[in-house]
């Protein structure tokens, strides 16, 4: 399967399968039980801190497509270096830290809406790529500007911070993205300090 490492292949298959279930009529119950609902609402359950990452907007297939493309594009080299188990542990730490960040922000601002999508984990993977391969050139799709990976990650992080603080693109969980990056950064620093 295009030389995709086992961990990423597993994540791709599960996300696509869950998306198929959502399209076939499971979107309402899947969001009710598995999306990440704010703490304090009757719908919140602890497992949602992980399960939300497997759900995507069934009306917008690009939500899933962009997340899975980024996971494949940036995660492959990382998993080949770290191995499957370490990569998956890292990914789910990022998902968890993104979920915790989103829950705190939603509680702080009183947001009643649930969160879905793998973006928190994907942003953590993007951060790891930028730290491991800082000088690798990335060519953006739009606009088609080449830049080193460290600059792409930095600009993306700053944009997410700006969008989160200003409320731009209000339906996007910008602080979850930042939470995924923060969890990934802390895990990488912890791993380096142990070595």
Name the average pLDDT for the chain.
Answer: 91
pLDDT value, residue 125? 98
pLDDT value, residue 26? 65
Q: How far, in Å, CA of 116 to CA of 126, rounded? A: 19
Q: How far, in Å, CA of 184 to CA of 181, rounded? A: 5
Which of 76, 95, 92 has its CA nearest to residue 36? 95
pLDDT value, residue 27? 65
- What are the structure tokens assigned to 27, written together? 């979107």
pLDDT value, residue 118? 96
Residues 6+ apart with CB under 8 A from 27: 58
> For the whole model, what pTM was predicted?
0.92
The phi and psi torsions of 159 (rounded to 5 degrees) equal -65, -45
- For the domain spanning 6-194, the CATH number is 1.20.1540.10
pLDDT value, residue 18? 94
Domain layout of the chain by residue ranges: 6-194
Q: How far, in Å, CA of 126 to CA of 123, rounded? A: 5
Residues of the chain with pLDDT under 50: 1
Which of 167, 166, 140, 168 has its CA nearest to residue 155? 140
Q: 103-125: string of b/e by CB count within 10 Å (b at 16+)?
A: bebbeeeeeeebbbbbbbbbbbb
The phi and psi torsions of 137 (rounded to 5 degrees) equal -80, 130
Q: How far, in Å, CA of 45 to CA of 175, rounded? A: 20
């Amino acid at each position: 399967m295009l030389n995709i490492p086992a961990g990423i292949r597993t994540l791709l298959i599960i996300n696509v399968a869950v998306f198929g279930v959502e399209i076939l009529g499971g979107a309402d119950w899947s969001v009710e039980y598995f999306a990440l609902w704010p703490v304090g609402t009757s719908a919140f359950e602890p497992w949602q801190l992980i399960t939300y990452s497997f759900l995507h907007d069934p009306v917008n297939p690009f939500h899933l497509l962009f997340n899975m493309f980024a996971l494949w594009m940036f995660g492959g080299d990382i998993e080949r270096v770290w191995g499957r188990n370490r990569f998956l542990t890292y990914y789910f730490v990022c998902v968890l830290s993104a979920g915790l960040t989103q829950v705190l922000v939603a509680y702080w601002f009183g947001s009643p809406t649930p969160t879905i999508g793998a973006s928190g984990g994907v942003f953590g993977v993007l951060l790891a790529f930028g730290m491991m391969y800082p000088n690798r050139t990335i060519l953006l799709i739009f606009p088609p500007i080449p830049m080193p990976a460290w600059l792409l990650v930095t600009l993306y992080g700053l944009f997410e911070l700006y969008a989160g603080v200003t409320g731009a693109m209000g339906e996007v969980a910008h602080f979850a993205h930042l939470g995924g990056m923060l969890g990934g950064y802390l895990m990488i620093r912890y791993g380096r300090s142990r070595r």
